[in-house]
A and B are shown apart, each in its own frame.
Chain A
């Protein structure tokens, strides 16, 4: 029986290892290939390792392709959106979790229903609204529509409900203001929540494509995914540069993800979509 169980476990382990191969190969391939020369891409069958690894591709992206700017743009957009997202979402979550007030049900229903509206339903009117206030091709137009993730409000409300109300009551006794209590009592206890929101939003903002594609025309505002897409169609045959660009766009997210992976699972269980 014990022997059987051991064999079963080894089998599970082996199958999982086997499954990792198709998942990981593209990443490994992308990173190795970003150090290759263009000629190596046309060798058939393809070789795994670069013949003479060099940083030339990256150098070219930054000197000729202006990828430094795109990188900075992506960082700026992501930083601003994450910051606003954390503030807007935790505040709203706290309001819904810790107060009884008139219209609470109504406002929460608004959050609930808007979180289910698919982007395709809003994107054209939103674009026309942006056009009418001349927000096309501006930082404001690029950043504002992605400022908050409505869905995280549920997460925040669920998490903040678990903070003991007595704690807040005691703060009230001590004469602390409502906002002060939120900042000084609730937020320090909500660090896991903030981590979940931050990482989720970081990845969402960093990878955002649809809206930036519509609203950005100027090169100065281009974010990394836009730059990679543009580059990919412009330099159709420069696979070496394309791989390096794809690596530049995806490696930061992979690093952040691996470093903070425990918060992803926490996010899933907090949001309560267990089905």
Chain B
């Protein structure tokens, strides 16, 4: 009797000891294969002249990175990507405005929130097909609108001068709901008493916003700024679908795709993506510094 009980307890103890590892094992195996191993391989691959077609690879040292520095097309794609950074404050400001409006206790707010967020969950590819048509100069919707208000139509994506701006417009449509939701969550943490106190002190709506609400939204702003910048560095689908002439919308990731997957220069593409990763990593680190300072 006693031994059976002890054995059972022993087994159970063992069960408790082993169980947590079994629970996290699938996730850990998955992460090891899909993220950890690739991250560790990324740098060595970038030092090789690996091509997708031939399994042979040769160690070439820093050659890919040196080539990067003199590759005009790469530098051009960096500039193109940098242009899209303009969209980040626009999406944030638009999201903030919508969030401020939605933060009233009124009926129907849920419905508005659902509608404003809907572009975020829509397939970028499907939405881009739609906007591609809107952007058509001779029969698209946007020039139809411009014409209706008496303005001359423009070339949108088909004109190298306006192509990047058009893609930004698309991203604002697609992304505002996302920044709205984060700001809305942030606004719901702003204590009502604080706003009321400011009101009693005679602060007008703008002053209340400027000196009470906005400082309290700083963590949300910092988060959105950093994720917005990182997201911009990885723009791909939008510009894969809405492609301006003369490489006017070819981002770094588009270029990586072209060299690595269409041109099969995996080593070189890997160096580019590793460089991009380094930049993103630095931005993430900066975010942590920024947020920590903010907490104090």
> A2 an interface residue at 8 Å Cβ cutoff?
no
A residues in contact with B39, CB < 8 Å: 114, 117, 121-122, 125
Cross-chain contact of A99 among B20, B230, B234, B261 (Cβ < 8 A): B20
Q: How far is the CB of B166 from chain A (nearest CB, A)?
A: 14
A residues in contact with B50, CB < 8 Å: 128
The answer to whether A114 and B26 touch across the interface, beta carbons within 8 angstroms, is: no
Query: Would you give the 0/1 interface string for B230-257, flagging 1 where the beta carbon is closer than 8 Å to chain A?
Result: 1001101100110000000000010010
Q: CA separation between A23 and B113, bound complex, in Å?
A: 11
Binding stretch for chain B, among A62-70, A142-150, A188-196? A142-150
Cross-chain contact of B102 among A16, A42, A225 (Cβ < 8 A): A16
Query: Would you give the 0/1 interface string for B127-149, flagging 1 where the beta carbon is closer than 8 Å to chain A?
Result: 10111111000111101100110
Q: CA separation between A118 and B283, bound complex, in Å?
A: 12
> B270 an interface residue at 8 Å Cβ cutoff?
yes
> B165 an interface residue at 8 Å Cβ cutoff?
no
Q: CA separation between A153 and B273, bound complex, in Å?
A: 27
Contacts A13-B106, A124-B273 given; does A246 touch B121 at CB 8 Å? no
Q: CA separation between A92 and B21, bound complex, in Å?
A: 9
Interface size on A, residues (CB 8 A): 96
The answer to whether B30 and A148 touch across the interface, beta carbons within 8 angstroms, is: yes
B residues in contact with A178, CB < 8 Å: 15-16, 19, 22
The answer to whether B185 and A269 touch across the interface, beta carbons within 8 angstroms, is: yes
> B209 an interface residue at 8 Å Cβ cutoff?
no
A residues in contact with B33, CB < 8 Å: 129, 144
Q: How far is the CB of A21 from chain B (nearest CB, A)?
A: 10
The total of interchain contacts (Cβ-Cβ below 8 angstroms) comes to 282
Q: How far is the CB of A267 from chain B (nearest CB, A)?
A: 10
Contacts A122-B39, A210-B236 given; does A101 touch B21 at CB 8 Å? yes
Contacts A129-B38, A268-B185 given; does A207 touch B124 at CB 8 Å? yes
The answer to whether B118 and A23 touch across the interface, beta carbons within 8 angstroms, is: yes
Q: CA separation between A125 and B43, bound complex, in Å?
A: 9
The answer to whether A120 and B253 touch across the interface, beta carbons within 8 angstroms, is: yes
> A45 an interface residue at 8 Å Cβ cutoff?
yes
The answer to whether A249 and B266 touch across the interface, beta carbons within 8 angstroms, is: no
The answer to whether A89 and B37 touch across the interface, beta carbons within 8 angstroms, is: no
A residues in contact with B71, CB < 8 Å: none
Binding stretch for chain A, among B72-80, B82-90, B156-164, B216-224? B216-224
Majority SS at the chain A contact face: helix
A residues in contact with B230, CB < 8 Å: 118
Contacts A144-B34, A210-B237 given; does A246 touch B23 at CB 8 Å? no
Q: CA separation between A240 and B273, bound complex, in Å?
A: 37
Q: CA separation between A89 and B27, bound complex, in Å?
A: 7
Cross-chain contact of A264 among B108, B115, B117 (Cβ < 8 A): B117
The answer to whether A22 and B114 touch across the interface, beta carbons within 8 angstroms, is: no
The answer to whether A23 and B236 touch across the interface, beta carbons within 8 angstroms, is: no
A residues in contact with B3, CB < 8 Å: none
The answer to whether A22 and B173 touch across the interface, beta carbons within 8 angstroms, is: yes
B residues in contact with A89, CB < 8 Å: 27
Cross-chain contact of A126 among B38, B98, B118, B143 (Cβ < 8 A): B38
Q: Give 14 pairs: A residue, B residue, CB < 8 Å, sorted on A.
A: A26-B130, A43-B139, A96-B24, A101-B20, A111-B31, A119-B234, A122-B39, A125-B45, A150-B27, A239-B133, A242-B133, A254-B118, A258-B118, A275-B221
* Beyond A23-B119, A123-B273, A225-B126, 14 extra complex contacts between A and B, CB < 8 Å: A23-B118, A23-B173, A114-B39, A122-B35, A178-B16, A179-B22, A206-B123, A225-B125, A243-B133, A246-B125, A246-B127, A253-B121, A261-B114, A275-B219
Residue positions of A touching B, CB distance < 8 A: 9, 12-13, 15-16, 19-20, 22-24, 26-27, 29-30, 33, 41-46, 87-89, 91-92, 94-96, 98-99, 101, 104, 107, 110-111, 114, 116-129, 131-132, 144-145, 147-148, 150, 153, 172, 175, 177-179, 182, 203, 206-207, 209-210, 214, 224-225, 228-229, 232, 239, 242-243, 245-247, 249-250, 253-254, 257-258, 261, 264-265, 268-269, 273-275
Residue positions of B touching A, CB distance < 8 A: 8, 12, 15-17, 19-24, 26-28, 30-31, 33-39, 41-42, 45, 50, 52, 55, 98, 101-102, 104, 106, 108, 110, 112-119, 121-127, 129-134, 138-141, 143-144, 147-148, 173, 176-177, 181-182, 185-186, 189, 217-224, 230, 233-234, 236-237, 240-241, 253, 256, 260-261, 266, 269-270, 273-274, 276-277, 280, 284
